[in-house]
Chains A and B, each alone.
Chain A
Amino acid sequence: MNINLTLIVQMVVFAVLIWFTMKFVWPFIIGAMEERAKKIATGLAAAEKGERELAQARANADAIIREARERASQIIDHAQHRANELIEQAKAAATQEGQRLVAAAQQQIDLEANRAREALRKEVAELAVTTASKLLEREIDARAHADLISKLAAQI
């Protein structure tokens, strides 16, 4: 056990080995590791970004679908409303027409009834005059008694 030249030789070998590691080993391995770390970081960031974009796109699609649905239901509502309106209109028109027809018929009936009544009255008046003249055996001047006759007719 003594200190000898081995010490010096070993120090030289050690120094050379350190230099070799520093020059040819360490930078390449650390470089590769750092580059890989960077790659992984970029990949993760890209994946996160993609995920975020996907979520965004999903939200957009949802919004569009919701809008479309709303619009569709609006259109249907509108159409139903319009149909109801048309039906109501048609009903109203039909009722009006019916009423008009009924009114016209009524008028016609009234007219006919009046006319018949008029005719009847005239006839009754004439009959009365005739009967009266027969009874009195003389002619009643129709003209002279026209107001009497019409009074009579009005009484009937």
Chain B
Amino acid sequence: MAVENAAEHGHSAADYIVHHLTFLSNKEAGSIIDFSVIHWDSVFFSVLLAVAFGGSFYFAARKATSGVPGKFQGFVELIVEFVDNQVKESFHTRSPLIAPLSLTIFCWVFLFNFMDLIPVDLLPTIAGALGIPYLKVVPSTDVNVTFALSITVFLLTIYYSIKMKGLGGFVGEFTLQPFSSKNKFVQVLLIPANLVLEIVPFVARPVSLSLRLFGNLFAGEMVFLLIALLTLGGIEKLGTVSGWLGVFGHLLLGLVWAIFHILIITLQAFIFMVLSIIYLAMAHEHH
């Protein structure tokens, strides 16, 4: 629909894609990092999904019974037990935070990703009709959102490292390994090398964590956009043979990619959760 509109208004395919990749923000960003800018659509959808997740799980938790569980409670328990098993597998210290954190990550990220399965033009078109110029519906295609998750996990990792090992232990992890020596003087000489070798992967963790999720979902959304462009972009008007072929091709390709995407969105949510658990477990473990 948007494609046709775009065609009517004389816009090109590039304009269509750029339109879909533009956030609804309060103003143009001055530079690559500009904290006066906010993406209203990312915030709106992620808060909406947070409320959906929190509300439904709170509802289940309130009515949770140790007797025969209802269908919804059974569903919630299935997810909770799945997450709990994942946590127990890699986490040997009892922590009241890690398991709920993992559940939150898994469900919230899954819901972010799930927005990708809503037809790409549906919500932006509705929003356009309501006078909202831009709308990106998938929060995990916003680097701010994915970085917010990974940086929070990163900060928790630092917090738990210092809490469990002390500041000295935490610093020691960066300076006394992988190269260590009994000789004090040699050890001092080795500190710069250790620092570089340890800090780079440590800082790379939140970056890779967030960019993995972002990249997968961004690419997924892009494929949906390309499918729409390829099959419906060149349609002059419906009813012609090429028009019908385009509609048929759109249905087929869209269906195939959506089904494949179900795997991707679940897998990415799972990977994000598992890596967060592992990072936090590493923070708890002594070397």
B97 within 8 A of A: yes
**Total contacting residues, chain B, CB less than 8 A:** 51
Within 8 Å CB of A41, what residues of B?
A: none
Minimum distance in angstroms from B185 CB to a CB of chain A: 43
Q: Is the CB of B35 within 8 A of A4?
A: yes
Q: Which of these, B32, B35, B96, B144, contacts A10 with CB under 8 Å?
A: B144
Q: Which of B68-82 contact A (CB under 8 A)?
A: 69, 73, 76-77, 80-81
Bound CA–CA A42/B90 (angstroms): 29
Could you tell me if B61 and A25 are in contact, using CB atoms closer than 8 angstroms? Answer: yes
Cα A4 to Cα B73 with chains together (Å): 38
Which A residues have a C-beta under 8 Å from some C-beta of B? 1-11, 13-18, 20-22, 24-33, 35-36, 39
Whether the pair A4, B38 counts as a contact (CB closer than 8 A) is yes
Main secondary structure of the interface of A (DSSP, over half): helix
Q: How far is the CB of B34 from chain A (nearest CB, A)?
A: 5
Number of A-B contacts (CB under 8 A): 135
Cβ contacts A to B, 17 pairs, < 8 Å: A2-B33, A2-B34, A3-B32, A3-B144, A4-B37, A5-B36, A6-B144, A6-B145, A13-B148, A17-B108, A25-B58, A25-B103, A26-B80, A30-B80, A32-B65, A33-B80, A35-B66
Tell me how far the C-beta of B139 lies from the nearest C-beta in chain A, rounded to whole angstroms: 8
Cβ of B176: which chain A residues have Cβ within 8 Å of it?
none
A62–B182 CA distance with the chains assembled, in angstroms: 77
Q: A25-B61, A32-B66 are in contact. List 10 more A-B contacts (CB 8 A).
A: A3-B144, A8-B35, A14-B149, A17-B104, A21-B54, A21-B101, A22-B101, A29-B64, A29-B76, A29-B77
Contact with A along B39-60 (1 / 0, CB 8 A): 1001100110010011001101
Residue B62 interfacial (CB < 8 Å)? yes
Smallest CB separation, A86 vs chain B (Å): 73
Asked if residues A7 and B37 are in contact (CB atoms below 8 Å), the reply is no
Q: How far is the CA of A16 from the CA of B53 in the complex (A)?
A: 13
The answer to whether B37 touches A2 (Cβ under 8 A) is: yes
Determine if A25 and B77 form an interchain contact, defined as CB atoms under 8 angstroms apart.
no
Tell me which residues across on chain A come within 8 A of B29, comparing CB atoms. 2, 4
- Chain B interface helix/strand/loop/mixed: helix
**Distance to closest chain B CB from A124 (angstroms):** 128
- Judge whether A21 and B103 touch: CB under 8 Å: yes
Q: Does B240 interact with chain A (Cβ within 8 Å)? A: no
CB B245 to nearest CB in A, in angstroms, measures 35
B100 touches A22 (CB 8 A): yes
Contacts of A32 in B (CB 8 A): 64-66, 69, 73, 77
Which residues does chain B contribute within 8 Å of A29, judged by CB atoms? 57, 60-61, 64, 73, 76-77, 80
Residues of the B chain whose Cβ atoms lie less than 8 Å from the Cβ of A27: 61
A30 to B25, CA, bound (A): 40
- Would you call A10 and B66 a contact (CB within 8 A)? no
Q: Tell me the bound Cα distance from A3 to B81 in angstroms.
A: 36
Distance, CA A50 to CA B152, complexed state (A): 53
Considering only residues 89-106 of chain B, those with a C-beta below 8 Å from chain A are 96-97, 99-101, 103-104
**Which A residues lie within 8 Å of B271 (CB)?**
none
